[in-house]
Amino acid sequence: MKNTNLPYTDIEVSKICLGTMTWGKQNTEEEGHEQMDFALDNGVNFFDTAELYPVPAHPDRHSATEKIIGTWFKKNGNRDKVILGTKIAGKAEFTKFIRTNGFSPDAIRSAVEGSLERLQTDYIDLYQLHWPERNTNYFGKRGYKHDISDHWKDNIHQVLETMRDLIREGKIRHVGISNETPWGTMRFLTESKVHAGLPRAITIQNPYSLLNRQFEVGLSEISLREKIGLLAYSPMGFGTLSGKYLGGMKPATSRITLFPNYNRYSNDPAIKATEMYHELAQKHGLSMAQMALAFVNTRPFLTSTIVGATSIKQLKENIESIDLKLNDEVLEGIEAIHNSIPNPAP
């Protein structure tokens, strides 16, 4: 495994991060425990979860994933071996069953307390805002369209004050953002620069893959100049970059088959691009899944690649991508495909 530090800290994390959002729906508690055992045994010490998981969000499964991680910590007593990130759910129609008061001080505090209890831990290493409260372009929206009915008032200072208090209490260690835009990212960073004592966002968890490189427009420069590390999610495009959906295949237990509304990686341009990446991988004798992950793993703005799997076989292949070095010919092929069909799955 290759390791790096969370920006502005001495916390060493694996460049492969274990994603968990299938546990409690597509995976059982036993399978979640098995994945954590396997990941830790193979050098992965960075786990990412959220109070919302598993997906799709549902009141009957609320926070089941965090509970599975908590029972694993209790069983093994190895909390100190893991760098753990979780998230507070943002405002949305599908999160009203969790809470409706956004990122207010009471909301953040109650979310942290709930996560600590479910995770059976005294602290969270990286506490993240799952997506912005304001209306903006995330979750598959290409461009920003201003909504005059959005009455969001800028509360970023207050959010960071609440996070500061929780850090002082020892309940969280560091702060991250997720599904953010360049504007939102700079607002958070500027607020902590201008006001001494406010915590600095050290990571941004956004989608990044061969099918979605929008992070490179605006956010990559911010990441490199401001040293806010990308935690890349959906590096496999909901599994499409494994090739398992090629030719119209619909594996019975796969995510897109089970949840057809998760279709941002399944439009015609994305399918065409996936076919081209598959041909490129075959030409060079590579697993397309590992080629896709190896590309993400080596980006200069990356801190860690979040991989999710529903089987140990998938997880093993994903973790082993860290050892794959793509040669110049493969990288040139990737750029040629990207230039012909740029960002087909925002």
Look up 277 and say whether it is catalytic: no
The pair of three-digit structure tokens given for residue 135, joined into one six-digit string = 């209306």
Terminal-to-terminal C-alpha distance of the chain: 29
Taken in order 116, 157, 89, 43, the sign of the CA dihedral is negative
Nearest to 315 by CA among 19, 71, 14: 19
Residue 70, Cα to own-chain centre: how many angstroms?
20
Distance between CA atoms of residues 126 and 297, nearest Å: 20
Half-sphere exposure of 56 (CA within 13 A, CB side): 11
Helix (H, G, I), strand (E, B) or coil at 337: helix
CB 312 within 8 A of CB 39: no
Rounded to 5 degrees, what angle do the CA atoms 287, 262, 300 make?
50
Distance between CA atoms of residues 43 and 169, nearest Å: 30
Catalytic one among 53, 127, 245, 265? 53
Q: Which residues are annotated as catalytic?
A: 53
